[in-house]
Amino acid sequence: MTTTDPLVLVLQGSAVGDIPSFYAEINRVFMADEDWQLGHSLDALDDMLYGGYGVLAGHESAKVIWQDIEQTRIALGVETTRTWLQAKLDADGTFNVRTVAAQLEALDAGEGQTYFQIVMEIFAAHPRIQLEGR
């Protein structure tokens, strides 16, 4: 059953210090009643925001209030992103080395996206999810 009642969710940016704690907070809010958790994957985050499972299931729209969003922006900034990209390069044969190396070069040149910016882009791609940063 789908409901048009507005769903309001609150993310605590102060709980985010790195990528694992970001997903812990996402799971706390979006997957609380599920017997499984989202992995540390941007693709999984994107899939979840489509609303087929977790607290979004059955809701046409949702408002996400992101408390202390600035803390999350800092935590998922350049250094965290550099470490994430380097780990991809170090995972021999798992990722496209040229693509990841180019992303790392762009980040180091001040032109690449941070993990936080990628997350914001993913949220923005879901117009049924209204995001309010505080």
Tokens linked to 48: 């979840």
Residues 4 and 55 in one domain: yes
Number of domains in the chain: 2
Residues 51 and 103 in one domain: no
- Domain of 55? 1-76+116-134
Q: Identify the pLDDT of residue 30.
A: 96
pLDDT, tens digit (0-9, with 9 covering 90-100), for 62-95: 999 999 999 999 999 999 999 999 999 998 778 8
Residues 11 and 59 in one domain: yes
Q: Identify the pLDDT of residue 75.
A: 98
Residues 55 and 20 in one domain: yes
Residues 52 and 1 in one domain: yes
Those residues of the chain that have pLDDT short of 70 are 1-5
Residues 86 and 96 in one domain: yes
Burial of 16 (0-12, 13-18, 19+ CB in 10 A): buried
Do 11 and 25 touch, CB atoms closer than 8 A? yes
